[in-house]
Amino acid sequence: MRNEAVMVDPRGKVVWTYQKAHPVPGMDPFPAGDGVVPTVDSPFGRLANVICFDADFPTLLRQPDDVDVMLVPANDWYGFGAAHTEKAVMRAVENGYGLVRQDSNGLAAAFDHQGRVLASADYFTTDQQVMVAYVPTEGTSTIYGTVGDAFAWLSMAGLVALVFVGRRGSAVPRALGSQRAPTRQEPIRRADR
Q: CATH no. for residue 88? A: 3.60.110.10
> Is 179 within the bounds of a domain?
no
Q: What percent of the chain has pLDDT over 90?
A: 35
> Is 193 within the bounds of a domain?
no
> Is 176 within the bounds of a domain?
no
Label residue 179 by pLDDT band (50, 70, 90): low
Strands (E), 43-187: 45-49, 69-71, 98-101, 107-111, 117-122
Label residue 76 by pLDDT band (50, 70, 90): confident
3-state secondary structure of 19: strand
> Is 174 within the bounds of a domain?
no
Query: Taking the model in full, what pTM does it have?
Result: 0.74
Phi, psi (degrees; rounded to nearest 5) at 99: -135, 130
Give every CB contact of residue 187 below 8 A, 6+ residues apart in sequence: none
Residue 111: give the domain boundaries.
4-145
Label residue 192 by pLDDT band (50, 70, 90): low
> Is 78 within the bounds of a domain?
yes
Backbone angle region of 86, left / alpha / beta, with phi > 0 → left and psi within -120 to 50 → alpha = alpha
Query: How many structural domains is the chain composed of?
Result: 1
